[in-house]
Amino acid sequence: MNGSMRYIFQFIVACLGIILIGIIPVIFYAIVKLFKDLKDILITLFNLGDLTYTVKGTVRPVFPAIIEPYLYSMTVLFVALIIGVVSAVILTYITMLLHRKIINGIKFVVFILESLPDIFVILLVQAFIIFIYHKTDTLLFSIAVYKEKIYFLPIICLAVLPAVQFYKILILIFEEELEQPYVELARGKGMKKSWILLNHVLRNAAISMFYHSKSILWFMLSNLLILEYLFNLFGITTFLREYMTPSIFTIGVFMIFFPLFIIYSVGERLILRLKEREAAKI
């Protein structure tokens, strides 16, 4: 390095050092604020009755105000999940009874549907309802009603893409199960395909679908945020968005996490016992 370059390098290093020294107070402030927020959250967890939020200058307790939007969102979420699972199972069962060429065509269509963004589905449903309203002067379902509970359209919109994902996964699982030796054995005993699918393949596929449902459920939670915004619903994500503080956000996330954790923990335990019981029979 020649003399000129050395001075330029020293100048740049010195400037960077000054900048780093300049942001030290910011870093220190951020760390202090981080520990203060952490302390507030921990205190809040043990004093939920003291947690408040402010609406137009009025301070109100979070509990029980947060319960109603929470139950509303959970109702929409779990009913949509059940509809998605049930419709996917029925469609998969019917599909697997069709000819192989038709199944391949359906898989291609499912691939396209799965690629659709969730916001597109929601807007498409809303546009369809508005179109029908303009043409017939009949409002089939409410679309946007702040702090009023509507169920049908939000549930259908939230169930569409998970149903497609479950459908795609189930077709793949069914195809794998149909190649298993126990299926060949059942065919050898003269059982019909419809019976094998319903009584043997579906039971084994349900276990795999349970584990896949975790990722799909988290996908639905992200869609729930968009859904509540576009339908102007007052659910748990809207409550958290409007009255966001570190403590309220943490409590809201815990409220969503706890039931899901319990459901999947119990489900995994039941599946484990079922496998142990079947293994003991062998």
Residue 96 CB: number of other CB atoms within 10 A? 20
Residue among 73, 103, 107, 64 at smallest CA distance from 223: 73
DSSP class of 198: I
Going by their DSSP bridges, the two strands 52-55 and 58-61 should be labelled as antiparallel
Q: Model confidence at 145, in pLDDT bands (50, 70, 90)? A: low
Kindly state the average pLDDT of the residues 9-24: 81
211-258 confidence digits (pLDDT tens): 888 888 888 888 888 888 888 888 999 999 888 888 888 888 889 988
Write down the pLDDT at residue 20: 79
Residues in contact with 79: Cβ distance below 8 Å, sequence separation at least 6, in sequence order: 151, 155, 159
Torsion of CA 23, 29, 31, 37, to 10 degrees: -150
62-96 confidence digits (pLDDT tens): 888 999 999 999 999 999 999 999 999 999 999 99
69: preceding bond cis by omega (within 30 degrees): no
Three-state secondary structure call for residue 72: helix
Residue among 120, 192, 199, 189 at smallest CA distance from 161: 120
Q: Model confidence at 32, in pLDDT bands (50, 70, 90)? A: confident
**Average model confidence (pLDDT) for the chain?**
84
Write down the pLDDT at residue 3: 66
Question: Mind listing the domains of the chain with CATH numbers?
Answer: 1-47+246-281 (no CATH), 67-244 (1.10.3720.10)
Residue type, 270: L
Q: How many Å apart are CA 66 and CA 10, to the nearest integer?
A: 58
Q: Model confidence at 144, in pLDDT bands (50, 70, 90)? A: low
Give counts: helices (H), strands (E), the chain: 11, 2
161-184 confidence digits (pLDDT tens): 889 889 989 998 998 888 888 888
Q: How many Å apart are CA 23 and CA 20, to the nearest integer?
A: 5
Question: Would you list the DSSP string of 107-153?
Answer: HHHHHHHHTS-HHHHHHHHHHHHHHHHHHHS---S----TTS---HH
Kindly state the average pLDDT of the residues 258-279: 86
- Please, what is the end-to-end C-alpha distance for the chain in angstroms? 76
